[in-house]
Structures are given as C-alpha cells and as structure tokens.
Structure 1
Amino acid sequence: MYVVMGATGHVGGSVARALLAAGEAVTVVTRSAAKAEVWRHKGAEAAVVDVQDTPALTALFQKAERAFVLNPPASPALNTDVEERRTVQAILKALQGAALEKIVLQSTYGAQPGAHSGDLGVLYEFEEGARQLQTPLCVVRAAYYMSNWTFGLDAVRTSGVLETFLPASQKVPMVAPQDSGAVAAQLVRAPVSETGVYAVEGPEWYSPADVADVLGEVLNKSVRVASLPKNEWLAAYRRNGFSDDAAQSYAHMTEIFVTQAYDVPPAPLKGPTDLKTYFQQALTE
C-alpha cells in the first residue's frame, strides 16, 4: 500500500490518481472527512489525520510500503516560518517511526538554507531531514507552478490586469502541477534503487507577458501586466492577508526567485503540458 499526502491538492491529487490508474492500493491523508469520502468513491482508502498528530501518522506509515510526502502550506495569516517547520518535524518524526521501502518527497526549485525565505528554506530542511532517515529517497523539485497564476484570475477577469512581482519580460521555468505529480507517481513505483533529486519543469520557460497573452486568448479579453516594484512587495503580501512575519519571509523568497539566486538544474525533466493547455484545462474544471 502507498500513502499519499496532499491528495486534496493539485500535486498530491495527481500522484494519487496516477497510482490508482496503475492499479496500486492507495491511502490518502486528509484532514477533511468529506474529502476522504470523495477519495473512497475513487477507489482509494482515506485516513482523516492531522499531520501534526505524529502517533496517528506514524501508525499509517507503518502499514505502508512506500509514501509520497509533502509539507502542507500554513495559513499566510500566521508565522509561516514557524508553522511550516512544525509540520515538517512532525512528518519526519512519523517517518522515522516507520520502516518504508522508499519515500518520494515534493520540494521546489531553489530549495536552500535560510530561516526566513518561505518555502525555500522550509523544504530544504525537509529534504535534509528525510535524507537522515537512511530510507531510499527521491526528491522532486518542481519549477514555479502554473497554478499559482490562477489565484489572480478574479482580478484579471474584472480589471484585465495581471499583477506580478516579476518583470513583465522575465522568463522563468514553470510546470503544470499534474506533470510534477506524474513524475512523483513514477518514482514511487520505480525500483528502490532509483533515488536522487529530480527537477521538473514544463516544455518551455514563460514570462508574465506570456502568461497575460495566454490568459487573454483563453478568456477572450485584453490582459496587461502590472509588475510591482520591490518596495511594494511587502504591502502587496499584507494586502493579501499575510502576517508581517509571513510577508517578510515571502518577500525574501520572491527576491531569491526574481534574481534567480539559486542553482538552475542543468538537465531537468520536461513535462508535456504547455501554459495554454494548462489554463484551458484549469478554467473548465
């Protein structure tokens, strides 16, 4: 049996669906009884568990052969640096109490040491903690998710403006969540000897201007880019419900992303889903 965390999200859901389609026995982890029931109708087992309930999570991992793990995002209204590290430690402790054949861990491009750099620092610590378990490990580092652009769709629809922290013409690696999930699902089922770090991005790099053009085409309206200068980033995060601590951390992560102050993988895996296909699918779901 394979345990899949985050199945109610884009990536974990893709992993669970791919494993079920391959005929594997899957148990998804969720905090929602209603969402658990949805997955049972799809053919999976479902465990209603809070990831900070280490004994319950340990018991679940002890029944599994392999696991796909990710760290759930904390509410931005809280101190995300503290909250997300708390869940990382709870998951690692639960994994330590199991005897899994293999772990596949979802991470991100740019994961690096840093106490206040959003997901980059948190997921780096997650990776390092998992390596210390001495269990065969695959780390999937995903590029910027195309799904992140959907959070601003209401504003785009009403105003025709796509707000971004990136310069309008700066191209960056992006990936459809389902493509990252497909790679993770393959690695979960792959031989135990298949380990290491796997970078995943889409078929090409895109800029915010490219995103605006594609959205304009899909939505059948004119869309323009509004790039926020660095001195407005904190206010923008706070305006969107981030606490002061979270805003500071995410602004630092944004600076790392915009300046590309991280190692770009030399030979990433290329997912098949381009930006237009992603939006066409996402907007009809």
Structure 2
Amino acid sequence: MHIILGATGHIGSVLIKLLAERGEQVTGVTRNRGNVAQIEAAGAKAAVVDVQDTNGLRALFKKGTRLYLLNPPGNFAADSFAEEKQSISSILSALKDSPIEKIVAESTYGAQPGDQLGDLDVLYGMEQALAMTPRYVSILRGSYYMSNFDMDLGTARSEGKIYTLFPVDFKIPMVAPADIAHFAADLLLEAKENTALHYITGPQDYTPRDVANAFSKALGRPVEAVAVERPKWQEFLMKAGFSEASATSMANMTAVTLEQDFEIGKAPKRGNITLEEYIDHLVKKQEHEMA
C-alpha cells in the first residue's frame, strides 16, 4: 500500500487520485478530520494523523510498503522552519522498524546546509538522513512551485500588482505541483530498486514579470510586478504575517537563490503545465468558488 503524506495539498491531492486510478491501494494522510471526505472522493483511504505524532505515524507506517514523504510547511507566524525540522524528525523516527520498502521524498532545487536557510537546509538534512536508512530512496527535487503565486491573486485583483523579492526580470525555474505529482506517481510505481536523485521543473523558466503578465491575461486587466528592495525584505515579510525568525529564513533563502546557480549541468525532467495555464486555472477556480 502507498502512504501519501500531505494528501490534500497541491501535490498530494493529485497524487492520490493518480495512484487510485491505476488500481493501487492508497492511504492519504491529513491532520484535519474535515479533509477525510476529499481524500475518500479521490479513491483513497484517509488516515487522520499529525506528522508530529510519532506514535500515530509509526502505527500507520506498519500498514504500508511505499511512502511519499512530503514534509508539511510550518506556521510562518511562528518559527516555521524549526517546526519543519521537528516534523522531519518525527517522520524519520516513525519509519524505524516499519515495513516501508521504498520512499519517494520531496525536496527542493538548491538543497544545501546552512544557518537559517529555511527549506534549503531542512530538506538537505532530510536527504542526508534518508541516505542512512536501510530502504530504497528516491529524492525528487522540485523547482519553485507555481502555487507560491496563489497568494498573489488578491493583490493582482485589488491593486493590479504582485510583489516579489526577486528582480522583475530574474529568471526562475518553476513547476506546477500537478506535474510533480505525475512524476512522483511514476517513481512510486517503478521497481523499488530504482533509486536516484531527480530534478523536475516546468516547460521553461519564468520571471516575476511573466507572472504578472499571466495574471493580467487571466484577469483581463493590467497587472504589474513590483520588486521589494533588498533592505526592506524583512520588513515586508513581517508585515505579511511572518515571524521574525521565519522572515529571516525566507530572506536568506531568497538571497541564496539570487546568488547561486543551483543546478547547472543537471538535466531536469520537464513538466507540461505552463505558467499561463496554471494562473488561468487559479483565477477560474476562485471565480467558480465566488459564484
């Protein structure tokens, strides 16, 4: 049986459906009992377990053979990345003595060790810990999620602007979560002995200006990309609801992204969903929900 962490998120909600459609036994994990119906509607069983409940996870893992490991995002209003480290520790502890034979773990472009580097450091630590487990492990490093722009729809509508910490013409590898889900499904279904470090991104790289243009096209009105000056990153993030610790980590991750060419020389898998398609679907989904 496949166990999918984060089963109602952007990736997990698509992944459980893909596996169920292929006739696989799937259990989707959520910490919110209100999500059970959504998981069951996708053709999977639902397990209500918080990933920081190590004993609860341990009992669940005893029922599975393959695991999609997605570490859920922490609460940015608190110390989100300290919370994420606790979640990874709980997941890894629960795996001990479990029958899980194959793990597909979601990581990120640019994963690396460092002080207050947020997901880059948290997920690098996860990769290193998984390398020490006596199981078959495939690491899936995704590029910048297009779903990060979901939160920009509000200001795109109300102000005709989206705000970015990146220069407006800075090219960023981006990927739609649904493309990650399709690739993850293939990895979970392949022979357990097939293990590797994989990279996945979208059909092409995009800039924040491209994001604004996609919103403009979908909304039928001008939308401008506005770059936040680097000395104001921390202030901007804290006004958006980040704690000081979370804002520091996010600012540091952004700086590293600007200063490093993460995956030069790599040959990533490329998904099919364009930025324009993703933004158009996002806008239409909100309009449907508001109707």
Same structural fold, with TM-score higher than 0.5 when normalized by the shorter chain: yes
SS in 2 for 1:284: helix
Superposed CA offset, 1:125-171 (max 9, x none): 11111111121001110000111112111011111111101111111
Query: Are the structure 2 counterparts of residues 86 and 265 from structure 1 closer, same or farther at C-alpha, using a change threshold of 3 Å?
Result: farther
Say if 2:15 and 2:182, in contact at 8 Å, map to a contact too.
yes
| Counterparts of 2:92 and 2:171, CA distance in 1 | 35
| Conserved 8 A contact 1:199-1:265 | no
User: Residues 27-66 of structure 1: matches in 2 within 5 Å?
Assistant: 27-66=27-66
Which letter does structure 2 place at the counterpart of 1:220?
G
Alpha-carbon deviations, 1:100-144, whole Å to 9, x = none?
120000111111012310111001111111111121001110000
Residue 261 (structure 1) shift: 5.2
Q: Does 1:113 align with 2:94?
A: no
Confirm or deny that 1:213 pairs with 2:213. Answer: yes
The Cα of 1:284 is off from its aligned counterpart by 2.3
Taking only the aligned residue pairs, the percentage that are identical comes to 38
Structure 1, residues 88-109: CA drift from partner, whole Å, max 9, x if none? Answer: 1000111123121200001111
Cα distance in 2 for residues equivalent to 1:180 and 1:257: 21
Alignment check: 8 A CA contact 1:81 1:115 kept? no
Q: Aligned partners of 2:117, 2:185: CA distance in 1, in Å? A: 28
Q: CA deviation at 1:265?
A: 5.4
Distance 1:88 1:75, change over 3 A: same
C-alpha deviation, 1:263, in angstroms: 3.4
Gaps of 5+ in 2: 286-291
1:3-18 equivalent positions in 2, closer than 5 A:
3-18=3-18
Output aligned runs, 1:132-281, within 5 Å.
Answer: 132-260=132-260, 262-264=262-264, 266-281=266-281
Read off the aligned partner of 1:279 and give its amino acid letter. Answer: I
The TM-score with structure 2 as length reference comes to: 0.95
What is the rounded CA distance, in whole Å, between the counterparts of 1:6 and 1:216 in structure 2? 31
Aligned to 2:88: 88
* Secondary structure in structure 1 of the residue aligned to 2:206: coil
Given residue 257 of structure 1, which amino acid in structure 2 is its aligned partner? T
Note closer, same or farther for the CA distance 1:13–1:42 as it changes in structure 2 (3 Å cut).
Answer: closer
Contact conserved, 1:143 with 1:174, CA < 8 A, in 2?
A: yes
SS at the partner of 1:254?
helix
Structure 1 contact 28–39 (Cα < 8 Å) conserved: yes
Secondary structure (helix, strand or coil) at the match of 1:199 reads: strand
**Match of residue 128 from structure 1:** 128
* Change over 3 Å in CA distance of 1:9–1:264 after alignment to 2: farther
What RMSD over aligned residues (CA atoms) do the two structures have, in Å?
1.2
